[in-house]
A and B are shown apart, each in its own frame.
Chain A
Amino acid sequence: MSSQNSTLSRYGSSARPAPYPLFYPPPPPVDQIAVEERVAALGKRSIKKGAKVAGLTLAVRMMDLTTLEGKDTPGKVRQMCAKARTPLAGDPSVPSCAAVCVYPNLVPTAKAELAGSGVKVASVATAFPSGQSPLDVKLSDVRRAVELGADEIDMVIDRGAMLAGDYAKVFDEIAATKEACGPAHLKVILETGELGSYDVVRKASEIGIAAGGDFIKTSTGKVQPAATPAVTLVMLEAIRDHFLATGRRIGMKPAGGVRTAKQALHYLVLVKETLGDAWLTPDLFRFGASALLNDVLMQLEKERTGVYQASEDFSKD
């Protein structure tokens, strides 16, 4: 980011010029067909036996077990926390999940339940899921969530500003949110289902990374389509290019729409092929999911016993 290219700041709205040279060098155009072909090709890999078990075990360790509903109760969150600590009762070979992801009001419940387990508590904030509130409201949302004990904050970007071309506003809000997070990790939700094209996704990824996000995340889970392998690949490539330019490692989190073990392995293949083994860790890759965990557990049990499992045999939530 060199500051002498100030003319590039005119990418921001004319009423409010961006104080940062946002796109230098400008993001490469995304070849939609090539991205989708590559994703489809990588999705055809057959991962069996030992590699499958290793991949699925890693997927459990990378999982942000999520419940983000108006009807969430402390009881439901406690149950989910128990599942995140011990995904498969009676089988200690299945590791704990990475985190649970809840609304701010339920952070204290999750925090108490997960004390000493190593499982982190993530909270959505910044007027999730729309992000259509004034900045001071969003920032106080973030500060309160951190005060309540959240280790990680999942923020949403202002998609309206993004689509209107007011990239400076998007950048400034992310930067302000990062500051408000303090020690908490920041995941920046782009809500790719609302961004319209891979080019916009790429731009939003670069803004999220440049403004200080520790992770970039596809979706809130409230909009369809949510995470897709193609959009994930576009974001992974933004992360790769940032790493090659700066040496800084940004994390990735596809969320929403990842429901089966097979899909999860597909995502791991994408990460491995785009970013390499360094990213195959819960510190740099997460799945935001709820239904995925049970399918992964069913597949792990299938591998252990040789028998296809019944969904009724696994606890819901």
Chain B
Amino acid sequence: MSSRRTTERLEHAAPALDTTSKALATTSDGFDPSARVSVAKAYKMFVGGAFVRSESGRYFQTGGGRADGGADPAVVNVPRGSRKDARDAVVAAKGAEAGWAGRTAYNRGQILYRLAEVMESRREELRVALVRGGADVAAAEREVERAVDRAVYYAGFCDKFQALVASSNPVSGPHFGFSVPEPTGVVAVVAPGHPALLGLVSTALPILAGGNTCVVVAGADDPRTAVVWCECLATSDLPGGVVNVLTGDAAEIAPHLAKHREVGALDVWTADAELRALCEREGAGSVKRVRTHDGEAIERLAGDDGQGLGFIERFLETKTVWHPVGV
């Protein structure tokens, strides 16, 4: 416990957060901001619409600064998700699946747009989180703007991609066929460590736009940004369980998600080669759709080609219906 107190104190002294309180002297009514009790945040995972600790009770530490002194020197404890946290998250995602896929695509778009609104109103907090995680200030600013824009982009795409990927198929014979996209179901995602925010937004939102629910393992480099983003999710009309975010060691958690039969697909293209291979092997038992490296680079996420129809299409199943002509 004592070490935890220490980390809380340290965090309060973080330069990125402390600028406002330094500027304030004792006010005329006798209020001394420096005498306030420190209010440190307990970072938690986001499962089933609630912020939870790991059932295992384990934590890992993050922060502590980089060699070049760019990051926040505070060290904080973040939950280290376990196999059973992954199981609970899948249960939550599965429970949310029918409700999310059953909404109209238009309504899904409205909710994702609401997420963009909330992210916009929390731009400063997201920026500070990224700086604490090691990004430089200008890059963090750009990343937040890009992330909000991307949320708007996928919000708009929710009720439009169907027209682009569906088809009517004139077949040879006395039949007619048409193909329509359907969500895969529960998708497990390994999000990149950097860019922390854009990585989450760019992997999770196209999956949601397609009508899937997801379990995301946030990158271990900057898990606090992921938690701040979860606070945006929690206040954005997204039903509980549609997005579940675990923090911890992806190499520990992802193989369990890969084996889990309730998970329909895996998005691990930003993971390292060893973990990708392991997830492919473990996912084979339930014939999962596994998205690994399609010649993509993480750097791509920062640019315009880090979004698009292709990202949505990866987690859609195509249902083709044959009709007798004339019906």
Binding site for B on A (CB under 8 A): 306-311, 313
Contact = CB atoms under 8 A, between A and B. Distances in A.
Interface in B263-306: 285-286
Nearest to A305: B285
From A307, A308, A313, name the one whose CB has the most chain B CB atoms within 10 angstroms.
A308
A139 B30 CA distance: 81
Given A307-B261, A308-B259, A313-B261, 10 more contacts: A306-B259, A307-B259, A307-B286, A308-B256, A308-B260, A309-B261, A309-B262, A310-B262, A310-B286, A311-B94
Contacts of B90: 308
B87 interface: yes
Contacts of B260: 307-308, 310
Contacts of A313: 261
B4 to A, nearest CB: 24
A308 B262 contact: yes
Contacts of A307: 259-261, 285-286
A307 B259 CA distance: 6
A137 B17 CA distance: 75
Contacts of A306: 259
Interface in B89-106: 90, 94
Contacts of B87: 308
A208 B94 CA distance: 42
22 contacts: A306-B259, A307-B259, A307-B260, A307-B261, A307-B285, A307-B286, A308-B87, A308-B90, A308-B256, A308-B259, A308-B260, A308-B261, A308-B262, A309-B261, A309-B262, A310-B260, A310-B261, A310-B262, A310-B286, A311-B94, A311-B262, A313-B261
A306 B262 CA distance: 14
Interface residues of B, number: 10
A313 B94 CA distance: 14
A313 B263 CA distance: 13
A313 B87 CA distance: 17
Contacts of B259: 306-308
Contacts of B261: 307-310, 313
Contacts of B286: 307, 310
Determine the main DSSP class of B at the interface with A: helix
Nearest to A301: B261
Nearest to A313: B261
Nearest to B86: A308
Interface of B: 87, 90, 94, 256, 259-262, 285-286
A309 B260 CA distance: 6
The 3 A-B residue pairs with the shortest CB-CB distance, nearest first, are: A310-B261, A308-B260, A310-B262
A313 B260 CA distance: 12
Nearest to B257: A308
A310 B256 CA distance: 13
Nearest to B262: A310
A311 B260 CA distance: 11
A310 B262 CA distance: 4
Contacts of A308: 87, 90, 256, 259-262
A306 to B, nearest CB: 8
Nearest to A307: B259
Contacts of B285: 307
A44 to B, nearest CB: 13
A309 B286 CA distance: 10
A170 to B, nearest CB: 40
A313 B285 CA distance: 14
A260 to B, nearest CB: 10
B247 to A, nearest CB: 20
B142 to A, nearest CB: 40
A309 B87 CA distance: 10
Contacts of A309: 261-262
A143 B286 CA distance: 51
A277 B260 CA distance: 35
Nearest to B186: A310
Contacts of A311: 94, 262
A131 B259 CA distance: 49
A43 to B, nearest CB: 15
Contacts of B94: 311
A304 to B, nearest CB: 13
A310 B261 CA distance: 5
A294 to B, nearest CB: 13
A301 to B, nearest CB: 9
Nearest to A308: B260
B263 to A, nearest CB: 8
Nearest to B94: A311
Contacts of A310: 260-262, 286
B97 to A, nearest CB: 11
A306 B83 CA distance: 12
| Of A307, A309, A311, A313, most B-chain CB atoms within 10 Å | A307
A91 B216 CA distance: 35
B99 to A, nearest CB: 16
A288 to B, nearest CB: 24
B1 to A, nearest CB: 22
A306 B256 CA distance: 10
B63 to A, nearest CB: 33
Q: Which of A306, A307, A310, A313 has the most CB of B within 10 A?
A: A310
A309 B263 CA distance: 9
A153 to B, nearest CB: 37
A172 B134 CA distance: 77
A175 to B, nearest CB: 46
A195 to B, nearest CB: 32
A64 B94 CA distance: 27
Nearest to B260: A308
A308 B261 CA distance: 6
A308 to B, nearest CB: 4
A262 to B, nearest CB: 11
